[in-house]
């Protein structure tokens, strides 16, 4: 435990036989549960984890499942009863899996085997479900490839434990060695996706959006539909949007970039950027409709959509202007004025909406 709070580390693993042992062995002692979700690995990853489970001999805190003590029905707690029943059935929405441990209430290392390869995000979601079902106070996510320093876990959980922050992200880009250590193509790709993620998520002061070294409070974990987490490497972006819709506070802490320790990255930048960019476009509109229309109407909803409408109407005139510029033909005043009016109005509406969005979300960022 850490300051009388239960701590869980969720580690998704797919073919990490060379690194997983080192990662497990370096997890700090204050971590109560190490939940490793084996995403149908085809190497010795599961074998190495099972050996660690068999050899574990430290006394651990007993952490019972919330389902072991169902709530007592009273006149006023029908909502609590319904949520409890829903939580029991919710497991069917996650990737099909089985828990290796015979007693996961006592074992420190928990192995959850997914029955088929489901993706990084789905593996993490299954680990989150275990943490949620065991009422864990603070849940950390870290990769199994050794690119995250376990000694920095305390740095991530401290804002949650001491300051009541809901979601804490590691930030490698602000570390003094970032430009020297992070591969240039990854640094560029991360920076591009971070800009898009600011717009999509509403967390305008967050950067290094692609890091998976994060920590969530119990409240944050219970405020989102975990099983809907994006299945692949775009899950940190998806999670940020979900946190914003749920009005969760966020904080970034500096972490060191770790590369070239024998890990083999499974992320292909040229595939990931287009895929995550499309995901962010969809999430942007989802956030606008859910947060600024259905839950609590805000004028920025209209301004954003007005700017998109004007931008769409300006396309024929943009085409005419570009064509006239290339061919050197003379353009009359009507299309030129329409081009100027529509593009300028669209840009202004977009900037006003973005400024309102920044101001509205400033309260969710903790220094």
pLDDT tens-place string over residues 250-264: 999 999 888 765 555
Instruction: Kindly list the distances between the CA atom of residue 249 and the CA atoms of 43, 156, 166, 168, 231, in Å, as whole numbers in the listed order.
Output: 39, 14, 5, 9, 24
**Average pLDDT estimate for 84-109:** 92
Decide which of 262, 293, 324 is a domain's last residue: 293
pLDDT given at position 147: 87
Is the C-alpha dihedral spanning 230, 249, 209, 27 positive or negative?
negative
What global pTM score does this model have?
Answer: 0.89
Q: What percentage of the chain reaches a pLDDT higher than 90?
A: 70
Instruction: Specify whether 264 is located in the same domain as 201.
Output: yes
pLDDT given at position 184: 77
List, in sequence order, every beta strand (DSSP E) within 73-206.
97-99, 109-114, 138-141, 167-171
Instruction: Specify whether 271 is located in the same domain as 357.
Output: no
pLDDT given at position 191: 81
Cβ 133 vs Cβ 67: under 8 Å: yes
Decide which of 259, 293, 327 is a domain's last residue: 293
Examine residue 2 and state whether it is found in any structural domain, yes or no.
Answer: no
Tokens of 209: 């959006």
For 222, residues 6+ apart whose C-beta sits below 8 A from its C-beta are 132
For 283, residues 6+ apart whose C-beta sits below 8 A from its C-beta are 200, 201, 237, 238, 241
CA distance linking residue 139 with residue 161, whole number of Å: 11
Statement: residue 182 has pLDDT above 80:
no
Decide which of 263, 293, 323 is a domain's last residue: 293
Statement: residue 91 has pLDDT above 60:
yes
Cβ 192 vs Cβ 230: under 8 Å: no
Statement: residue 333 has pLDDT above 90:
no
pLDDT band at 25 (very low <50, low <70, confident <90, very high): very high
| Bridge-based pairing state of the strands 109-114 and 138-141 | unpaired
Report the 10 Å Cβ neighbour count for 136: 25
Least confident among 97-101, 129-133, 185-189, 313-317: 185-189
pLDDT given at position 48: 95
The mean pLDDT of the chain is 91
Instruction: Specify whether 112 is located in the same domain as 225.
Output: yes
Report the 10 Å Cβ neighbour count for 235: 25
pLDDT tens-place string over residues 280-320: 999 999 999 999 999 999 999 999 999 999 999 999 999 98
Instruction: Specify whether 317 is located in the same domain as 217.
Output: no
pLDDT tens-place string over residues 192-214: 888 999 999 999 999 888 889 99
Instruction: Specify whether 232 is located in the same domain as 346.
Output: no
Examine residue 78 and state whether it is found in any structural domain, yes or no.
Answer: yes
CA distance linking residue 148 with residue 97, whole number of Å: 26
Instruction: Specify whether 200 is located in the same domain as 320.
Output: no
pLDDT given at position 58: 67
Q: Which has the closest alpha carbon to 44: 147, 118, 144, 124?
A: 144
CA distance linking residue 38 with residue 114, whole number of Å: 6
Range of the domain at 239: 7-293
Distance in angstroms between the alpha carbons of the first and the last residue of the chain: 25
**Average pLDDT estimate for 176-204:** 84
CA distance linking residue 66 with residue 331, whole number of Å: 71
Identify the CATH number of the domain in which residue 188 sits. 3.90.550.10
Least confident among 166-170, 226-230, 324-328: 324-328
Cβ 1 vs Cβ 29: under 8 Å: no
Instruction: Specify whether 27 is located in the same domain as 108.
Output: yes
Least confident among 65-74, 175-184, 342-351: 175-184
CA distance linking residue 352 with residue 360, whole number of Å: 12
Number of domains in the chain: 2
114: helix, strand or coil: strand
Instruction: Specify whether 252 is located in the same domain as 320.
Output: no
Examine residue 95 and state whether it is found in any structural domain, yes or no.
Answer: yes
- Separate counts of helices (H) and strands (E) for the chain: 12, 8
Statement: residue 181 has pLDDT above 60:
yes
Examine residue 97 and state whether it is found in any structural domain, yes or no.
Answer: yes
pLDDT band at 324 (very low <50, low <70, confident <90, very high): confident
- Helices assigned H by DSSP within 63-171: 78-89, 120-133, 153-163
Cβ 9 vs Cβ 35: under 8 Å: yes
pLDDT given at position 208: 86
Instruction: Specify whether 222 is located in the same domain as 324.
Output: no
317: left (phi over 0), alpha (psi -120 to 50) or beta: alpha
pLDDT tens-place string over residues 107-140: 999 999 999 999 999 999 999 999 999 999 999 9
Q: Which has the closest alpha carbon to 131: 31, 263, 22, 243?
A: 31
């Amino acid at each position: 435990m850490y300051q009388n709070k239960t701590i869980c580390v969720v580690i998704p693993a797919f073919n990490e036989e060379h690194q997983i042992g080192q990662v497990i062995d370096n997890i700090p002692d204050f971590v109560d549960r190490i939940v490793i979700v084996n995403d149908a690995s085809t190497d010795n990853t599961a074998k190495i984890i099972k050996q660690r489970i068999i050899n574990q001999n430290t006394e651990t805190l007993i952490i019972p499942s919330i389902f072991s003590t169902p709530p007592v029905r009273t006149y006023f707690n029908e909502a609590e009863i319904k949520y409890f029943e829903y939580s029991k059935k919710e497991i069917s929405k996650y990737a099909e899996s089985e828990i290796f441990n015979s007693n996961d209430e006592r074992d420190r290392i928990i192995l959850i085997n997914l029955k088929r390869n489901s993706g990084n995000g789905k593996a993490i979601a299954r680990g989150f479900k275990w943490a949620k079902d065991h009422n864990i106070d603070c849940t950390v996510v870290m990769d199994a490839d050794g690119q995250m320093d376990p000694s920095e876990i305390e740095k991530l959980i401290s804002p949650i434990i001491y300051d009541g922050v809901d979601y804490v992200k590691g930030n490698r880009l602000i570390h003094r060695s970032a430009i020297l250590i992070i591969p240039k193509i990854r640094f560029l790709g991360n920076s591009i996706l971070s800009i898009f993620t600011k717009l999509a998520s509403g967390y305008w002061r967050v950067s290094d959006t692609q890091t998976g070294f994060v920590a969530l409070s119990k409240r944050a974990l219970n405020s989102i539909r975990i099983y809907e987490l994006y299945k692949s490497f775009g899950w940190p972006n998806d999670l940020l949007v979900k946190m914003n819709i749920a009005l969760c506070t966020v904080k970034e802490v500096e972490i060191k970039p770790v590369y070239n320790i024998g890990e083999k990255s499974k992320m292909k930048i040229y595939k990931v950027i287009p895929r995550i960019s499309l995901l962010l476009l969809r999430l942007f509109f989802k956030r606008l409709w859910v947060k600024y229309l259905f839950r609590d109407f805000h004028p920025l909803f209209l301004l954003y959509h007005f700017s998109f409408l004007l931008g769409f109407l300006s396309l024929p005139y943009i085409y005419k202007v570009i064509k006239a510029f290339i061919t050197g033909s003379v353009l009359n005043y009507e299309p030129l004025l329409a081009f100027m009016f529509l593009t300028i109005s669209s840009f202004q509406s977009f900037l006003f909406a973005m400024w309102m969005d920044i101001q509205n979300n400033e309260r969710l960022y903790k220094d």
